Amino acid sequence: MLLIECPWCGPRAETEFSYGGEAGIFRPADPHALSDAEWADYLFYRSNPRGTHRELWNHAQGCRRWFGVERDTVSYRIKRTYCLSGASGGQPDGSAGGLEAGSGKRR
């Protein structure tokens, strides 16, 4: 069972979280400008790497925040977790949509 460090609440058991798949999948600004193939790529195609994976998790039983995790898909080791800013949580960023990053850390 993974131990995931919520950027706000600290390390918590995996069972408190729900998984949100690959991070950095941006919703196209104008979907209608895309070909069917390009739209399919956004919808369904994933990098699914063996190794480091940037992914989204939600602290579902905790603070309900979505955040980013960098995890190795073979060793399952978590390299880091981070607050989100831009679209689809692509870019790790401390600002977290205007919230104080890490204000959630324990005292």
- Among 81, 82, 92, 96, which residue sits at the site for another protein (rule: CB under 8 A)? 96
Question: Using the rule CB under 5 A, is 69 a contact of Zn ion?
Answer: no
CA separation for the pair 100, 107 (Å, rounded): 14
CA separation for the pair 65, 8 (Å, rounded): 8
CA separation for the pair 82, 90 (Å, rounded): 11
- Element at 52 (helix H, strand E): strand 52-58
Per-residue contact track with Zn ion, 49 to 68, x per CB under 5 A? ----------x--xx-----
Residue 71: count of CB within 10 angstroms of its CB? 21
User: Cβ closer to another protein: 73 or 80?
Assistant: 73
Interacting residues toward another protein by CB under 8 A:
1-3, 8-10, 12-16, 18-23, 26-27, 30-32, 34, 36-37, 39-41, 43-50, 53, 55-56, 58, 60-66, 71, 73-76, 84-89, 96-100, 103-107
